[in-house]
Amino acid sequence: MDFQLDEDQQLFRGTVRAWVERECPKDVARQLESREYVYPEALWEALVKGGFVGLGVPPEYGGQGADLMTQVILQRELARSLAGLTWVWGISAFCARAVHAFGGEALRHEVLTGLAEGRSRLAMAVTEPGGGTDIFGAIRTTGTKVPGGWRIDGQKMWSTGAAAAQHLLLLVRTDPEPAKPSGAFSMFLVPSPSEGLTIRPIPKLGMRALASCEVFLDGVEVGDEHLLGEVGRGWHQMVMAIDAERVLLAALCCGIIDGVLEDAIAYAHEREAFGRPIGQFQAIQHHIADIAMWQRQAELVTWYAASLPQDDPRYGLEANMAKVVASEHAVNAADLGIQILGGMGYSLETDMQRYWRDARLFRIGPVTNEVTRNMIAEGLGLPRAR
């Protein structure tokens, strides 16, 4: 049993950490995040130049074909400074998995090579105004067969990065009367811009530069090659494609905890009250010890899930556990971080509030922690929760 990163992984972590300090330290990340709806193009360009955006893309499409653990390291190191803005890369990375797994060769080549070269970004558009949890009940967007392709009509909600993406990954209803509810859906990749496609940012609490959007599809037509995989298999394909998402998200939360802990310790040394650094007060020490223990717990569950092959029967359960543990510890750590900084923790001029605002999302999306707990219980042999 070895709980350490190996030599290559440590080297990669050191390289990314030095890059983050140079290209997107916390003060830069804070400025970027505050610019509502202004996509951080310079950050994307820097990530492209750093050779990071194609990390998970297979080498035949110009990427590095790195394993999940290497992507976890990147995600965590970026999030230590960027927090939720790390999703600038993360979303494209896991949407690209769907294109690789289910797209035809020409589409794969266009999208994956485009991503590896930094020309093509992706966003996911599954959630609808009717809900994100009860997907089968909520999805009203339809795909209708037309000669040579499909016409898509409907509305999506909360599609993060959609306004700056070149392709949207959609789950739509293609069968109004399926034999089984899960057979109603198919997966499409819709180019953006497209005629009939309108995208509108939704004001939100965190990750403000990376807009989460309403997406209106009014008779959007795509060719047959934009159907990914098989008609009626969209739900199963989506579940498979986003398998890595929970682990990457847990890694992002680990990065947030790293950022919180180092800022909390620095402040505890600097700030004085009653003639001594606040780090001498036992209450502050306990807060910091709690954050450090949460950091270790989140790291271990995340690394463990990332170390399992994705076809291992334990993978799904472990990925779900990692998502819940890391997201809840990140929110709690940032909350205590604010407490340690006192009034400055509430100031937009420090990063604690940004960590808290960003981490808070990950108890909700991509799947809420209530529903993730249901899945964990089901994985332990309990009946499906109603």
Ligand X SMILES: Cc1cc2nc3c(=O)[nH]c(=O)nc-3n(C[C@H](O)[C@H](O)[C@H](O)COP(=O)(O)OP(=O)(O)OC[C@H]3O[C@@H](n4cnc5c(N)ncnc54)[C@H](O)[C@@H]3O)c2cc1C
Q: Report the interface residues with ligand X, using CB under 6 A.
A: 124-127, 131-134, 158-160, 204, 212, 361, 364-368, 370-371, 374, 385
Q: Among residues 120 and 212, whose Cβ is nearest to ligand X? A: 212
Quote the tokens at residue 286: 């306990």
When the beta carbons of 124 and 319 are compared against ligand X, the nearer one is: 124
Smallest distance from ligand X to CB 328, Å: 13
User: Shortest gap between Cβ of 163 and ligand X (angstroms)?
Assistant: 11
Question: To the nearest whole angstrom, how small is the minimum distance from the Cβ of residue 309 to ligand X?
Answer: 26
CB nearer ligand X, residue 215 or residue 261: 215
CB count within 10 Å of CB 267 equals: 22
Cβ at position 378, least distance to ligand X in Å: 11
Compare residues 161 and 279 and give the one whose CB is closer to ligand X.
161
- Residue 201 zone, left/alpha/beta (φ > 0; ψ -120 to 50; rest): beta
Least Å distance, CB 331 to ligand X, is 14
Helix axes 243-270, 282-307, angle to 10 degrees: 160
**What is the spatial distance between Cα 68 and Cα 324, in angstroms, rounded to a whole number?**
19
Q: Which residue is nearest to ligand X (CB)?
A: 132
CA distances from 8 to 13, 302, 307, 310 (A): 9, 19, 15, 21
First to last CA, the chain: 39
- How near is the Cβ of 196 to ligand X at its closest, in Å? 19
Q: Residue 190 or 341: which CB sits closer to ligand X?
A: 190
Indicate the angle between helix axes 68-82 and 7-23, nearest 10 degrees.
30
Nearer to ligand X, 229 or 279 (CB): 229
Q: Tell the smallest beta-carbon distance from residue 326 to ligand X (Å).
A: 17
Of 70 and 374, nearer to ligand X (C-beta) is 374
Of residues 71 and 160, the one with the C-beta less far from ligand X? 160
**Least separation, in Å, of the C-beta of 373 and ligand X?**
8
